[in-house]
Structure 1
Amino acid sequence: MSFAFWGLTIAMSIAAIGIVAIPLFSGKPRFSAATLLPSVLIPLIALGIYSKLGSPDALSVNGARADRSQVSTNSGNSGQSNKGTASVASLVNGLKERLEQEPNDADGWILLARSYEHIGSRAEAIAAYNNAKSLGKTDPTLDKSLSGETPAQEQVVLVTGPSLRGRVALAPDVAAQVQPSDTVFIFAKETAAQRMPLLALRKPASELPMTFELTDAQAMVPGSHIADYEKLVVTVRISRSGMAGDTLNGFEVSSKPVSPLAGEEILLLIEGNSSGDLPTGGPNNE
């Protein structure tokens, strides 16, 4: 184990103990949930991140990137509690950066969703949990706590914001090999070779041929917006295992670069040796 990891954990534990000890020596031993919560959560989250990902590198935070992806914290806590929450936020940002390099770690996304939920960052928790679900991983507790209607401001984006929409169809020879229980993954990247999808959607193969729409609601990175990208490539993949990294018999197709602002329909036909998209208005398998 890394000396840096244990040094950070011990330092944070001492800080957490100080949060509780200072009121005792001041003669005002008044405790509240806001005072005690950091002393418990800080060491637990630190150890949880280590045990789940198996490397203290998950705790490393790139300063410049952390500044761009700060985790929101509740403003009603005391000054001491805010310091503890900020330390937890640093750990969470470190885990987020780790997952950007290893996006297929479903357990890591679950841990990130739980961590975001603990510090009150609901939108980020939902996005992280959606990533886990796209990899076939679910959690009953998160299902319950993160369920609910989309916030009003996100609904406006869904209705009026830019999007990538289209239709997925199967060639007859492919349709004969696809089962209703298979999974269809639809995701968008800046290039087809990019590892981390920017947007992702998961649907059952029983809905084929199907229509789709990718919006900010399917963002894999919290805070990212589809309008920030000039052009994106949409890829459709069939998976029998339900895991995003698995492709059934090479059944995958990618579009040409498309502008999210163009509003054009993307028609994707999956063939045995498919490599591109159909022109708008092209044939389908109905």
Structure 2
Amino acid sequence: MIEFWLCAGLLLLTALAILLLPVLRGRGVQAEEDRTALNVTLYQEHLQELQAQHAAGALDDKQLAGARDEAARELLSDTEGAQAVPVKRSLGRAVPLICALLVPALGVGLYMHWGVIDEVERARTFVEQPKTIEEMTARLEEATEKNPDSAESWYFLGRTYMAQERPAEAAAAFERAVAVAGREPELLGQWAQALYFAGNKQWTDQLQAMTDDALKGDPAEATTLGLLGIAAYEGGQYQRAIEYWQQLVAVLPVEDPSRQAIEGGIERARQQLGIATPEAAVTNVPGITVKVELAPELSDKVQPGDAVFIFARAVSGPPMPLAVKRLTVADLPAEVSLSDNDAMMPQLKISGFEQVQLVARISRSGNATAGEWIGSSQPIASKTTDLQQLRIDTADTPTP
């Protein structure tokens, strides 16, 4: 913090210089006044001497006049260049001096009361990369202690606890984050996951309510889908585990490192069900093939890494997607297939509805429920086999 106080000191010195400048100028003016007054006094005394010499007969009238003119010229010469000085000054010397003394004291006092020196110190601390996860945990604990209303600090503290296999403490941290930020889907998913592992993998009504709320807010919430798959697998419900994990794989980016582990989990669940290969599970499953493209006029308004969610939803039914695939803008134009294998929920499949609508949404934040640009189709039959065309060309507006 030495740099901060040095800068503050320089600012105070600048303010003092501004305040003391009138005083310093006043001293120069006063010196000029004193010199002029002395010259005038000497001139007057010289005139008196000349008058005395004239009265004594030492000087005649002509000599007296010449001596007076000479004295006047000397006075003018001595006072030449002197500036006119106002007779009255509004401040004088006392007020600037008092202000100069008060400015540093008031400045320090006001900053100590309203300043954010703690925030500055904390920001400087977080600039330096922690050397160990324990150091990171200590920093986050300090951050939440000093600023308990920061949902981000509680969230990252919970993630750090989970990385250290401290699920009970992580659950408490995520609970605080939810209390601050509200029941956001991602926070609910993290909180439910921490509670599940803290409770020895026992499924409860509380966890069911939390995961239901999370998927209602975001049907593609990754942590929730992964947790439901784990809970179903641990409970021997292998088909449900496959369905949840397939939903998760469908929304994860291709380069996501967790895809391999999830696909491995799906394979193990298939083996438990006696299914030899993944291909056998998807044979003859009807689907809708759609080609998605980006309107040319939007090419300079999106970024290659922006997420693209392609989904089908029922025309007459629940608003949540029935099936979804995730790509990026860099993948467009692309041709994908949406089928019952991509169902977001086991009980809601494309084949269960007569008509569906196809939608493609671009979301820079990766949120499947809200984005920047969107394209949608007219209602089509769920059993259609024709290739569908879908263009993203409209600004996305939140659904009321």
TM tier relative to shorter chain: 0.5 to 0.7
Structure-2 residue corresponding to 1:101: 216
Shift of 1:138: 7.7
TM-aligned CA distance change 1:163 to 1:132, over 3 Å: closer
Alignment partner, residue 389 of structure 2 = 267
* One-letter amino acid of the structure 1 residue matched with residue 379 of structure 2: P
Any idea what SS the aligned residue of 1:169 has? strand
The structure showing larger relative contact order (alpha-carbon pairs under 8 Å, at least 6 residues apart) is 1
Instruction: Please give the residue correspondences for 1:1-286 in structure 2 after superposition, counting only pairs within 5 Å.
Output: 88=203, 97-104=212-219, 105-132=221-248, 134=251, 142-143=261-262, 145-148=264-267, 151=275, 155=279, 158-191=282-315, 194-248=318-372, 251-272=373-394
Report the Cα distance in structure 2 between the residues aligned to 1:141 and 1:89, rounded to whole angstroms.
29
Counterparts of 1:115 and 1:180 in 2: how far apart (Å)? 35
Q: Which amino acid aligns with 2:383?
A: L
**2:135 alignment partner in structure 1:** none
Superposition deviation, residue 224 in structure 1: 4.2
- 212-221 or 116-125, larger mean C-alpha shift: 116-125
**Structure (1 or 2) with the larger CA radius of gyration:** 2
> What is the rounded CA distance, in whole Å, between the counterparts of 2:244 and 2:217 in structure 1?
13
Task: Measure, in 2, the Cα distance between the counterparts of 1:233 and 1:118.
Answer: 35
Matched-pair identity in %:
24
Q: Which is worse superposed, 94-103 or 176-185?
A: 94-103
| Distance verdict in 2 for CA 1:103–1:271, change over 3 Å | closer
Indicate if the aligned counterparts of 1:132 and 1:138 stay in contact, CA closer than 8 A: no
Structure 2: state its 5+ residue gaps.
1-167, 179-200
Aligned length: 200
Q: CA deviation at 1:99?
A: 4.4
Measured at CA, do residues 247 and 267 of structure 1 come closer, stay the same or move farther in structure 2, by a change above 3 Å? same
- Describe the shift of the 1:196–1:171 C-alpha distance in structure 2 as closer, same or farther (beyond 3 A): same
Q: Distance in 1 between matches of 2:227 and 2:345?
A: 15
The 1:271/1:153 distance shift into structure 2, 3 A limit, reads same
Rounded Cα–Cα distance in structure 2 between residues aligned with 1:213 and 1:157 = 16
CA drift at 1:135: 6.9
Normalising by the residue count of structure 2, what TM-score does the alignment of the two structures yield? 0.41
Aligned to 1:24: none
- Distance in 1 between residues matched to 2:257 and 2:354, nearest whole Å: 33
**CA distance, structure 2, for counterparts of residue 192 and residue 182 of structure 1:** 30
Residue 69 of structure 1: aligned partner: none
SS at match of 2:380: coil
Per-residue CA deviation, residues 108-138 of structure 1 (Å, 9 max, x unaligned), is 3332222112112233223323444527798
Quick one: structure 1 residues 245 and 138, their matched pair in 2 at CA, closer, same or farther if it must change by over 3 Å? Answer: farther
RMSD of the TM alignment (CA)? Answer: 4.1
**CA distance 1:193–1:243, change in 2 (3 Å):** farther
Q: 1: CA distance between counterparts of 2:230 and 2:298? A: 39
Deviation at 1:247, TM superposition (A): 1.0
Alpha-carbon distance change, 143 to 100 in structure 1, aligned in 2, over 3 angstroms? closer
8 A contact 2:323–2:349 mirrored in 1: no
In terms of fraction of residues, the more helix-rich structure is: 2
Q: TM-score, normalised by structure 1?
A: 0.55
Letter in structure 2 aligned against 1:229: F
Tell me if structure 2 keeps the 8 A contact 1:113–1:126.
Answer: yes
Q: SS of the counterpart of 1:161?
A: coil
Match of 1:29 in 2: none
